[in-house]
């Protein structure tokens, strides 16, 4: 780890590191991840929250839009203009409700902006109509309300920044055109001032939304990196546990591990009154293998022996390395007679398989001793001693055979 970051909290350190990771770099113009796969993961991550928030925001928008019908009633009275305005409001409110229903059924639409963007554009388009039916002295109030709506566009309605900016520019342009159309004495200087005034909510909202989107994505990137670190540490811990329990050369259980698992099997066998057997095997003339072919060949012979055992044994069987060229196999739910059949199968397979090492090829044999758990056995050593006695009897009578005790 970089010493400069060693004292930083993990999340702050990860946020700093994401600034220089190409996968997590943000676009200067859109505040989105430049990498499309990262951006897709981010949208999937925020999709439930954004969809829920957007549904609520659309509900509030539709409610407020219809509530302002009271201002129409105050301004126009029970006139034909009021009825037309009410119809316009009802159409937009219905479309907003439809958009909310679509987002509920397909939350992915919320983060894509394909629902809220057309609604925003349509909402401003219909709002422009009010410029043409509002008395000239009330036009400034309509402009002020437009500015509030532009701010709300960025702050209240979740959408992609580039789409929100496009709608805001459309709202600004539409407002300028509407004011110019309904105000006969409009001057270029006046329109310039109005454009500058409208730029205030556009720029303010744009920067606020940009900061929000950038911070959310940086937090997401830091979270991903933290989760990756956690997974790496878990994998490392798992690997360390595996290494602590296995022989580094053959991958068989080391003494601590096979003794621990033997104790578990003994308790299970005695509790359920089931048989338990072990098999001890010792490679024949192993010193001759090392002296003739070299220690690398001897290592290859040990690895091959372990591989053959794993291939022939059940998943519930336990292979351990006693030391040197000697292995032990713990066989749950197995009698001594059945263990002898297993050992014979291993003996034949080992005898038939070539050991290949350093462009040399040779074959191995092994002698096996098997025994079964007895009433007076207190540890695995009791069984290993009996199996060893049977094994050494096999060694004395010619090797490459299975003996039971």
Catalytic residue positions?
A: 325
User: Which pair of tokens denotes residue 147?
Assistant: 């500015």
Measuring CA to CA, how many Å separate 107 from each of 51, 112, 153, 251? 5, 9, 20, 49
Do the beta carbons of residue 247 and residue 321 sit within 8 Å? Answer: yes
Of 218, 222, 259, 213, give the one whose Cα is nearest residue 113: 213
Token pair 């002698």 is at which residue?
367
CB 221 within 8 A of CB 46: no
Instruction: Give me the sign of the Cα torsion angle 73, 78, 84, 90.
Output: positive
How far CA 287 is from CA of 94, 214, 248, 284, 300, in Å, comes to 89, 68, 21, 9, 14
Say if CB 299 and CB 355 are below 8 A apart: no
CA distances (Å), 345 to each of 167, 303, 366, in order?
77, 18, 12
């Amino acid at each position: 780890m970089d010493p400069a970051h060693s004292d930083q909290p993990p999340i702050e350190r990860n946020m700093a590191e994401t600034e220089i990771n190409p996968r997590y770099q943000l676009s200067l113009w859109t505040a989105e991840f430049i990498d499309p796969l990262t951006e897709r993961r981010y949208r999937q991550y925020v999709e439930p929250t954004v969809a829920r928030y957007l549904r609520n925001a659309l509900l509030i928008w539709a409610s407020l839009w219809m509530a302002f019908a009271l201002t129409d009633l105050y301004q126009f009275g029970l006139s034909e203009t009021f009825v037309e305005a009410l119809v316009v409001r009802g159409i937009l409110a219905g479309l907003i409700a439809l958009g909310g229903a679509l987002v509920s059924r397909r939350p992915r639409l919320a983060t894509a902006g394909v629902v809220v963007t057309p609604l925003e554009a349509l909402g401003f388009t219909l709002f422009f109509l009010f410029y043409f039916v509002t008395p000239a002295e009330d036009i400034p109030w309509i402009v002020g309300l437009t500015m509030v709506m532009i701010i709300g566009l960025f702050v209240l309605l979740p959408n992609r920044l580039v789409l929100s900016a496009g709608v805001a520019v459309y709202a600004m342009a539409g407002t300028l055109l509407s004011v110019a159309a309904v105000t006969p004495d409009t001057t270029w200087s006046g329109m310039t001032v109005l454009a500058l005034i409208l730029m205030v909510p556009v720029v303010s909202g744009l920067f606020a939304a940009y900061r929000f989107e950038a911070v959310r994505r940086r937090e997401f990137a830091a979270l991903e990196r933290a989760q990756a670190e956690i997974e790496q540490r878990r994998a490392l811990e798992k690997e360390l546990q595996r290494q602590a329990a296995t022989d580094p050369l053959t991958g068989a259980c080391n003494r601590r591990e096979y003794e621990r698992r033997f104790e578990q099997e003994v308790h299970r066998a005695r509790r359920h009154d089931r048989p338990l057997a072990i098999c001890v095997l010792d490679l024949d003339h192993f010193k001759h293998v090392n002296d003739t072919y070299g220690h690398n060949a001897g290592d290859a012979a040990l690895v091959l022996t372990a591989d053959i055992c794993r291939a022939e044994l059940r998943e519930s069987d336990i292979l351990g390395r006693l030391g040197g060229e000697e292995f032990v196999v713990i066989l749950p739910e197995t009698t001594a007679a059945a263990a002898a059949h297993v050992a014979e199968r291993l003996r034949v397979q080992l005898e038939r398989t070539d050991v290949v090492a350093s462009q040399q090829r040779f074959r191995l044999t092994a002698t096996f001793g098997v025994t079964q758990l007895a009433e007076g056995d207190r540890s695995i050593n009791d069984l290993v001693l009996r199996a060893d006695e049977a094994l050494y009897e096999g060694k004395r009578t010619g090797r490459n055979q299975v003996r039971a005790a």
